[in-house]
Structure 1
Amino acid sequence: MRIAFLVAPEGVEQVELTEPWQAVVDGGGEPVLVSTEAGSVQGFNHLDKADTFPVDQVVGEVSADEFAGLVLPGGVANPDLLRTDENAVAFVRAFFEQGLPVAAICHAPWTLVEADVVRDRTLTSWPSLRTDIRNAGGSWVDEQVKVCDGGSNTLVTSRKPDDLKAFCEAFMKEFTRAANR
């Protein structure tokens, strides 16, 4: 089960990348780091620089059908940069068009808003995204993790790093279920 992790060259909240990544590895999957540029991405511990991670593939050179699911880690700058990159937005939208599961945590739903895929869905996020989600036609709830079966795919969302355990359990359950269909 190949799982894409889409991140910008900098600004990803490190723990929101590393813990879901490890959940995929522990579940027998193959995580693939996809970014808008080749090289490496700079992780952050909130506002402080943390580790760097090598990019496996560039978003303009891959397609959603190469993967069983998509994880969108947060961080404030990461999704803000992704939502301004048309290849990244198209990549995210393609997962929804192909009925593949998607998981997004913290500020990551900003990219979902830009891809116009939150309409008529209920999701959670960092609280400051509440208005953006509602303005994009979605419903926002303050829950640790929200699983939304809408249309042909499943969307798993979560609020913050404190929710990572529940987030990883929920998205791995949904990704495995989708892969076994």
Structure 2
Amino acid sequence: MNQASPSQAPLAGLAVAIVVGNGFEQAELVEPKRALEDLGAATRILAVSPGRIQGFHHDHPADHFDVDLTLAEARAEAFDAVLIPGGVRNADMIRSSRHAQEFVRAIDRQGKPVAVICHGAWLLVSAGLVRGRTLTSWRTLEADLRNAGAQWRDEPVVVDRNWVSSRKPADLPAFNAAFIDLLAGRQHQRGSGASDAAAPGDMNG
């Protein structure tokens, strides 16, 4: 079998964690996942419990997806980035997960890309990460984010250092492009031999 060239698979070798629970907005998982895999990245679905989780199309139940790894088992050093889809049910559940909070804190400490869309930003609030950061979200989260110390913008995509955020499924083309740009930068960094500045505790996720 012929292997894809670097130009065909510019994200080859990168692993992206997708942190979700039941009730996620399906397009916000499926479309970024497809875009990343088309460029050679590997993706893994991380959830609180093993088994299967269900997506939604807005208020309507959609498809089921296999969980690859529980959040209790996951270690941040095994991944190059995290994707946090939205959906009210999903976001309300994962924001209360200690393991989800610890995982995204570790990813952020290591300076790895954090991509969040719609209601997914609730997890970043609960993890205590948004103070001093600039991001967007579904409009009803504006007060939550501002009250937690973030700068909120009503824009299709906002990039703040290693974070990329968007508001809703309609923003997915801009969201995917910005996330891919961040990952391409990380791939370039890896290729140049640069290493992560991980804190001593990061190996515990």
TM-score interval w.r.t. the shorter chain? Answer: over 0.9
For residue 60 of structure 1, give the secondary structure of its aligned residue in structure 2: coil
The answer to whether residue 87 in structure 2 is matched with residue 75 in structure 1 is: yes
In the alignment of these two chains, the number of paired residues is 176
Q: Any runs of at least 4 consecutive aligned residues in structure 1 with deviations exceeding 4 A, and if so which?
A: none
Instruction: Tell me which amino acid in the other structure corresponds to 2:80.
Output: A
The corresponding residue for 1:102 is 114
Q: Report deviation, 1:101.
A: 0.8
Q: Report deviation, 1:98.
A: 1.3
The answer to whether residue 187 in structure 2 is matched with residue 175 in structure 1 is: no
Q: Report deviation, 1:38.
A: 0.4
The answer to whether residue 143 in structure 2 is matched with residue 131 in structure 1 is: yes
Looking at structure 2, the residues matched to 117 and 179 of structure 1 have their Cα atoms a distance apart, in angstroms, of 24
Instruction: Tell me which amino acid in the other structure corresponds to 1:177.
Output: G
The corresponding residue for 1:17 is 29
Q: Report deviation, 1:179.
A: 2.8
Looking at structure 1, the residues matched to 158 and 34 of structure 2 have their Cα atoms a distance apart, in angstroms, of 21
The answer to whether residue 10 in structure 2 is matched with residue 2 in structure 1 is: no
What CA deviation, in whole Å up to 9, does each residue of 1:39-94 have, x standing for no partner? 01100001111000001111100111100100000011111100111111111111
CA contact (8 A) 1:68 1:179 kept: no
- Higher strand share goes to which structure? 1
Looking at structure 1, the residues matched to 91 and 187 of structure 2 have their Cα atoms a distance apart, in angstroms, of 26
Q: Which has the larger radius of gyration?
A: 2
Instruction: Tell me which amino acid in the other structure corresponds to 2:177.
Output: E
The answer to whether residue 170 in structure 2 is matched with residue 162 in structure 1 is: yes
Q: Report deviation, 1:180.
A: 2.0
Structure 2, gaps ≥5 residues long: 1-13, 190-205
Looking at structure 2, the residues matched to 142 and 27 of structure 1 have their Cα atoms a distance apart, in angstroms, of 29
1:59 alignment partner, one of 50, 62, 71: 71
Instruction: Tell me which amino acid in the other structure corresponds to 1:64.
Output: A
TM-score scaled to structure 1, two decimals? 0.96
The corresponding residue for 2:42 is 30
What RMSD, in angstroms, separates the aligned Cα atoms of the two structures? 0.7
TM-score scaled to structure 2, two decimals? 0.85
For residue 72 of structure 2, give the secondary structure of its aligned residue in structure 1: helix
For residue 165 of structure 2, give the secondary structure of its aligned residue in structure 1: strand
Looking at structure 1, the residues matched to 79 and 187 of structure 2 have their Cα atoms a distance apart, in angstroms, of 10
The corresponding residue for 2:96 is 84
